[in-house]
Amino acid sequence: MTQVLPARNRALTSVSEVDHLVDSEDIKTRRHKVMLVLGLAGIAFEAYFLAVLSSGTAPMSEQLNLDSNGVGLVSSYGYVATLVAAATCGLLADRFGRVKIMVVAKLIAVVAALLMAGAPSFAMLVLARCIAGAAYGVDLGVAMAYLSENLPKRRQYLLNFWQAQWYISTVVALVIVLGLYHLDVGLSIWRWGLVTAAIFAFVVAIAQWTLMPDSPRWLAKKGRLSELTTSLQQMYRISATYPTGHLEAAVEEPKKERRWTELFSVRFRARTILANVVTMMQALQYYAVAYYLPVIALSLFGDNFGEATFGSIVFNVFGIVGGVASIWVASKLGANGAAKYGFLAVAAMILILGVFFDSLPVLLAFLVPAMFIFFHSAGPGVSGLTMAAMAYPSDLRGRGGQLATISQSIGGIVGLYAFPRMSDALGLSTTITIFVAVPLVGAAICMLIRWEPFDTSHDLNEIAEAEGDMVVREVFGK
- Is residue 373 a part of any domain in this protein? yes
- Is residue 309 a part of any domain in this protein? yes
Full domain range(s) for residue 201: 8-467
pTM of the predicted model over 0.85: no
pLDDT value for 365: 76
What is the count of structural domains for the chain? 1
pLDDT value for 291: 61
pLDDT value for 347: 94
- Is residue 214 a part of any domain in this protein? yes
CATH number of 143's domain: 1.20.1250.20
**How far apart, in whole angstroms, are the C-alpha atoms of residue 420 and residue 296?**
11
- Is residue 477 a part of any domain in this protein? no
Is residue 417 within 8 A of residue 283, CB to CB? The reply is no
- Is residue 476 a part of any domain in this protein? no
- Is residue 130 a part of any domain in this protein? yes
pLDDT value for 288: 72
Query: Could you tell me which of 176, 178, 177, 168 has the C-alpha nearest to residue 317?
Result: 168
- Is residue 432 a part of any domain in this protein? yes
pLDDT value for 115: 94
pLDDT in tens, 152-172: 877 777 777 777 888 899 899
pLDDT value for 369: 83
- Segments of the chain scoring below 50 in pLDDT: 1-4, 250-255, 458-478
Q: Give, in degrees to the nearest 5, the angle at Cα 188 between 182 and 190.
A: 85
- Is residue 429 a part of any domain in this protein? yes
